[in-house]
Amino acid sequence: MPTPIIIDCDPGHDDVFAIWLAAGNPDIDLLAVTTVSGNGYLEHTTRNARVACTVAGVTGVPVAAGAERPLMRQAAPATWIHGDNALGGPDLPEPTVPLDPRTAVQLISDIVREAPVPVTLVPTGPLTNIATFVLAEPALAAKVREIVWMGGSTGRGNVGAYPEFNAWSDPEAADIVVRSGIPFTMVGLNITHQALVTDEVIEGVRAIGNRTALFGAELLRFFSASYQAVEGIPGPLHDPVAVAIVIDRTVATSVHARLDIETKGTETAGATCVDLHNMLRREPNAQIAMELDVERFWSLVKDSVRALA
């Protein structure tokens, strides 16, 4: 039976591929896509989610807009990587996939409440919507199978020295979600940096030849070039790694460890403190993804792109 999931995202080039990976894989039942400010302002991330579905022919999956800003901070888009509209590179078509009139939290709540089996939440951006859902609907926590989040890092970050962008954007929300008691997996930079968008990867996607692949190759070219300019590496395709883990747990190794979110530090707010060596003697509360089967990961991505429009 396919795993029912909701993707909560801030598209973003890699979020688009996360949506496509879920939509094109037979082992996933994509119930909804919800959006949050993060890689871009909410108006951009919401439009980009609709564009992603439109290009790939993904219909019948509701798309709903969520939080315009973090719980306690100002929105700070990652324009240096994703461009001013959060999806730099190709000319974006006018989306034909409609916007659901409900808010993201309303849509998540409705789906989780009505689902016949527990639903997996796959957030690939800041955790603002998920934290709001947790606070608003505590009785529904038991109907969430798990949360698999692309965010954080076991080491250094990509915003300042320590924080990763999704955690840094709304550390208070991340703290609420991690402490919610819902089973939690962190898919951080330590594993997503193993999924590098090389020229070979881009050409492999382009060679699929359908509309999704051609559009996707343009996205990857821009994304990888931005990373090369800013960080000196080809772009890591972060967000689909979280979806891949939901599809096939053997695509990554993981360890059970203590995860705490730093919310106060001047230089470290948003740092994900992963106690890999049990130095704090605190109860482990998260699965931490560690090593990626890179060949299997790219095979999953390309198979999904091939299955779409």
Active site residue ranges:
238
Give the alpha-carbon dihedral of 188, 193, 199, 201, to 10 degrees: -50
CA distance 49 to 91: 15
| Contact present, 242 and 12 (Cβ < 8 Å) | no
The Cα–Cα gap between 104 and 202 comes to 32
Give the C-alpha separation, 208 to 303, whole Å: 9
- Distance CA(219)–CA(16), nearest Å, equals 9
Comparing C-alpha atoms, which of 75, 121, 129, 70 is closest to residue 102? 129
Segment holding 22, helix H or strand E: helix 13-24
Query: Do residues 161 and 202 make contact, with C-beta atoms less than 8 angstroms apart?
Result: no
Cα–chain-centroid distance for residue 209?
A: 25
